[in-house]
């Protein structure tokens, strides 16, 4: 299908701002201040961009046992897509402050709902403004488009499915930083460590100089990490199912398609104290 399906470069997007099929979604967010991203969007954003809040729009908060950012129901997410004026034919562009860690969550949500034409702005808001590309203070009027569909549940695993996946020899990759993976420190969750048998691939390794590495480099790094596993035999996780999507985007960018997400991730795993936890490398 024609369109941008993984990344789009800032200079390329700047020439497509007038296209009627382009829907731009600002995903800026800070765990330290959940209001910051939306406030920054109100002050200045890429022209026409609507805002997606990680807690309110890309998660369905309050669902017990599913981690700090519970994956939303079909109905919940579809309401957001319609409000953002996303149509089945839309070319969606998601961006955040820069590294794509939040925008990738929206990318994977749309992809698992069967929408192919969605991409992350490489370098995000930082790259866009550094190039002096146009910004706006005008807040778009809400839309009301039709968008139908449902999540492909085969790509979304819960804790029991992850345990079965590991028991069958599947690969589980954790996108958190090494210090959190080892359990040296844990600033966000009540228990430190990682799921037994998981391996570590921090999402930051997908980046170089504020942008994604080339597809060739990503392919070489992930093939070494997978050690013969088919991409469809890979499950990604992180702290709450957000930055894991960055690794999923990197794999897709590298031509390695079909990996899955443990949506609850570490914060979901530790919601049941009977589940095993390990620390160290």
Which residues are annotated as catalytic? 238
Burial 252-263 (b: 16+ CB within 10 A, else e): bbbebeebbbbb
Alpha helices by DSSP H, listed for the chain, are: 10-14, 36-43, 74-83, 103-112, 124-130, 159-167, 178-182, 215-226, 244-253, 265-269
DSSP state of 270: T
- Strand, helix or coil for residue 279: coil
Contact in structure between 47 and 17 (CB atoms under 8 Å) = yes
Bridge-based pairing state of the strands 171-174 and 234-237: parallel
Take residue 177 and report the two structure tokens written for it: 């930083």
Which residue, 37, 147, 33, 36, is CA-closest to 92?
Answer: 147
CA–CA separation, 265 and 174 (whole Å): 9
> DSSP readout, 195-238?
-TT-EE--GGGGEETTEEPPHHHHHHHHHHHHTT--GGGEEEE-
136 DSSP β-pair partners: 45
Q: Is 19 exposed, middle or buried (0-12, 13-18, 19+ CB in 10 A)?
A: exposed
The per-type count for the chain, helices as H runs and strands as E runs, is: 10, 14
């Amino acid at each position: 299908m024609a369109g941008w399906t993984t990344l789009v470069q800032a200079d390329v997007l700047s020439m497509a701002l007038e296209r009627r099929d382009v829907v731009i979604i600002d995903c800026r967010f800070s765990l330290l201040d959940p209001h910051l991203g939306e406030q920054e969007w109100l002050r200045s954003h890429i022209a026409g961009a609507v805002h997606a809040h990680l807690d309110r729009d890309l998660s369905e908060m309050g669902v017990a046992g599913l981690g700090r950012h519970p994956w939303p129901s079909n109905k919940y997410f579809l309401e957001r897509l319609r409000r953002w004026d996303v149509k089945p034919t839309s070319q969606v562009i998601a961006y955040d402050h820069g590294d794509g860690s939040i925008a990738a969550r929206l990318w994977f949500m749309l992809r698992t709902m069967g929408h192919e034409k969605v991409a992350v702005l490489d370098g995000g808001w930082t790259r866009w403004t550094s190039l002096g590309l146009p910004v706006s203070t005008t807040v778009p009027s809400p839309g009301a488009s039709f968008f139908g569909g449902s999540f492909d549940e085969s790509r979304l695993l819960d804790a029991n499915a992850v345990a079965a996946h590991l028991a069958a020899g599947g690969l589980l990759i954790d996108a958190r930083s090494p210090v959190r993976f080892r359990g040296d420190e844990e600033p966000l969750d009540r228990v430190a460590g990682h799921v037994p048998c998981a391996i570590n691939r921090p999402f930051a390794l997908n980046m170089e100089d504020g942008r994604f590495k080339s597809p060739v480099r990503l392919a070489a790094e992930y093939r070494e990490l997978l050690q013969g596993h088919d991409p469809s035999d890979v499950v990604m996780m992180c702290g709450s199912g957000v930055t894991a999507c960055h690794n999923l985007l990197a794999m897709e960018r590298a031509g390695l398609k079909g990996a899955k997400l443990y949506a609850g991730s570490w914060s979901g795993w530790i919601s049941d104290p009977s589940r095993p936890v390990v620390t160290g490398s």
